[in-house]
Amino acid sequence: MKYLDAFRDGAVARRLVEQLHARVADYAGAMTFMEVCGTHTMAIYQHGIRSLLPPQIRLISGPGCPVCVTPVDYVDHAVALSRLPEVVIATFGDMVRVPGSSSNLQHEQARGASVRIVYSPLDALALAQKQPEKKIVFLGVGFETTAPTIAGSILAAQRQGLTNFFVLGANKTIPIPMAALAADPELQVSGYLCPAHVSAIIGPGAYAPLAEQLGVPCVITGFEPLDMLQGIAMLADQVIEGRPRVETQYSRIVRPEGNPRARDILAQVFAPCDVPWRGIGVIPGSGLCIRDEFAAFDAARRIAVEVEAPREHPGCLCGEILKGKVRPGDCPLFRTACTPENPVGACMVSSEGTCAAEYKYGI
Amino acid sequence: MQIKTIDGDLAVCEIDGVQREASLMLLADPVAVGDFVLIHAGFAISKLDEEDAQATIDLFRRILAEGGGVE
Ligand code: SF4
């Protein structure tokens, strides 16, 4: 994107870090800021942001890696579908290596299943046009940034009269789990670095209840090093002033109203529903389920298949990691039994997963 | 990515010499050739507000100028 270098300037970064240290120097308490977006998690490691912060400020990762929060029975469902000869699974790349109870999509592909990695749900739609004898099942994983693209694709499939395009849905919304974690006394979240691209869709207003009712400062922050340093400084200011509110550091992309058109398309196809999150359990209203009017495109309702009983790897702490309660180093399997080449849990699979980021960049 | 051509709901966008098609179906902001857009999974989801980006960069420059001794 244009201006990229301007948001990576080392001299400005040093100055922002100095200012941050000076500002919190006299603050007696500690601050715990949670980043709720896998891309932030990755960027924080990549740029070594933690090592620049004053000791009073601690960063923890939250449940913002879409692949990581998807529970094991979803993977099992996808694996079962992939075994049907008429089904082609189309998915973003990360999903193929997420461990299910007894298999994953990569193993199924090696055994002959059709699994195609796509960049956009529209690519899955193109596959459906090209292979009318097959059932193309797109794995609908992701938050409010991805969900509208899936909604848009379902609308396009309907317009084109396609009857062989399906979505196996596991889309989720992010502000509701943020509220659940903010209310957790064990975590003591003193501020949220709110996701950048999700916020481009939902807008700052979506976090207002967090700031106003739960008193948690929220700053929508971009991914570049200067964005994150500025965002953290804005959060620290809110804590010191004792005035929690929603601010937008990433205003070059996030409008005050978000993206109403994307939200309309999302609401046309999806309705809120109760869904399970890995490690957190069912959170009421935090999921996006395909509306009855579009049931013809819902793989779960249209393609019958037997799914095995779910079984998580007993040693994996991924669920606790997603709540920010433990760090990858606390997991006995980290770097030993569990590596990016041979992941035991979902948090090690996606490049946005905390375990994968710690493995790659942590010391 | 920067918009190179627009044909109805479809735009061809480019970054670092790489071109990609993107749907404009989800975009609320009006766009024209030459605008920068944020693309996610094949859809443009937001337009870069260049004035706003410049304002943030100016703020960084001021922070640096006020820094005095910092190299
Ligand atoms: S290191 Fe592996 S096994 Fe341990 S919590 Fe992370 S993903 Fe799970």
The percentage of chain A sitting over the pLDDT mark of 90, rounded to a whole number, equals 83
- Number of folded domains in chain A? 3
pLDDT computed for residue A221 by the predictor: 96
Residue A182 lies in a domain: no
Residue A183 lies in a domain: no
Whether residue B46 and residue A251 make contact (CB cut-off 8 A), yes or no, is: no
CATH of residue A204:
3.40.50.11750
Backbone angle region of A112, left / alpha / beta, with phi > 0 → left and psi within -120 to 50 → alpha: left
Residue A181 lies in a domain: no
pLDDT of A317 above 90: yes
**Same domain (yes/no): A286, A355:** no
pLDDT computed for residue B67 by the predictor: 60
pTM confidence score: 0.92
pLDDT computed for residue A2 by the predictor: 58
Query: Using one digit for the tens of pLDDT, what is the confidence trace for A17-49?
Result: 999 999 999 898 999 999 998 889 989 999 999
**Same domain (yes/no): A148, A264:** yes
pLDDT computed for residue B38 by the predictor: 93
pLDDT computed for residue B60 by the predictor: 87
Query: Using one digit for the tens of pLDDT, what is the confidence trace for A70-114?
Result: 999 999 999 999 999 999 999 999 899 999 999 999 999 999 999
Q: Which residue has the tokens 């990549």?
A: A46
Residue where a domain stops, chosen among A213, A230, A248: A248
**Same domain (yes/no): A192, A212:** yes
Residue A313 lies in a domain: no
Residue A309 lies in a domain: no
User: With bands split at pLDDT 50, 70 and 90, how would you rate the model's confidence at A362?
Assistant: confident
CATH of residue A281:
3.40.50.11740
Name the 3-class secondary structure at A288.
strand
Interface test with A, best of B43, B51, B59 (most A CBs within 10 A): B43
Residue A308 lies in a domain: no
Whether residue A3 and residue B28 make contact (CB cut-off 8 A), yes or no, is: no
Query: Using one digit for the tens of pLDDT, what is the confidence trace for A197-213?
Result: 999 999 999 999 999 99
What is the residue-averaged pLDDT of chain A?
94
Q: Residue A351: give the domain boundaries.
A: 318-361
Query: Using one digit for the tens of pLDDT, what is the confidence trace for A143-180?
Result: 999 999 999 999 999 999 999 999 999 999 999 999 98
Say if residue A132 is exposed, middle or buried (CB neighbours under 10 Å; 0-12, 13-18, 19+). exposed
The percentage of chain B sitting over the pLDDT mark of 90, rounded to a whole number, equals 55
**Same domain (yes/no): A236, A342:** no
**Beta strands at A87-91 and A135-142: parallel, antiparallel or unpaired:** parallel
Query: Which among A70, A316, A336 is the best mutation to test ligand 1's pocket, defined by most ligand atoms within 8 Å of the CB?
Result: A316
User: With bands split at pLDDT 50, 70 and 90, how would you rate the model's confidence at B15?
Assistant: confident
CA of A321 to the centre of ligand 1 (A): 8
**Same domain (yes/no): A121, A264:** yes
pLDDT computed for residue B17 by the predictor: 85
**Same domain (yes/no): A18, A49:** yes
Taking CA atoms, A264 is separated from A140, A285, B27, B45, in Å, by 18, 18, 11, 13
pLDDT of A363 above 60: no
**Same domain (yes/no): A220, A265:** no
pLDDT of A216 above 50: yes
**Same domain (yes/no): A263, A160:** yes
Residue A311 lies in a domain: no
CA of A194 to the centre of ligand 1 (A): 25
User: With bands split at pLDDT 50, 70 and 90, how would you rate the model's confidence at B70?
Assistant: very low
Direct distance between the N- and C-terminal alpha carbons of chain A, in angstroms, rounded to an integer: 30
Largest CA-CA distance found in chain B, in angstroms, rounded:
53
**Same domain (yes/no): A17, A152:** no
pLDDT of A309 above 60: yes
**Same domain (yes/no): A164, A195:** no
| A270 phi/psi in degrees, rounded to 5 | -115, 150
- How many whole angstroms separate alpha carbon A268 and alpha carbon A179? 25
Tokens of A54: 């004053």
Whether residue A1 and residue B1 make contact (CB cut-off 8 A), yes or no, is: yes
* Residues flanking ligand 1, CB < 6 Å: A 316-318, 321, 328, 331, 333-334, 338, 344-345, 347-348, 355
Please check whether residue A43 is in contact with residue A59, taking contact to mean a CB–CB distance below 8 angstroms: no
Whether residue B63 and residue A254 make contact (CB cut-off 8 A), yes or no, is: no
**Same domain (yes/no): A85, A158:** yes
pLDDT computed for residue B71 by the predictor: 33
Say if residue A328 is exposed, middle or buried (CB neighbours under 10 Å; 0-12, 13-18, 19+). buried
Helices (H), A186-324: 196-202, 208-213, 225-241, 260-269, 299-302, 318-322
Query: Using one digit for the tens of pLDDT, what is the confidence trace for A237-293?
Result: 999 999 999 999 999 999 999 999 999 999 999 999 999 998 888 999 999 999 999
**Same domain (yes/no): A167, A296:** yes
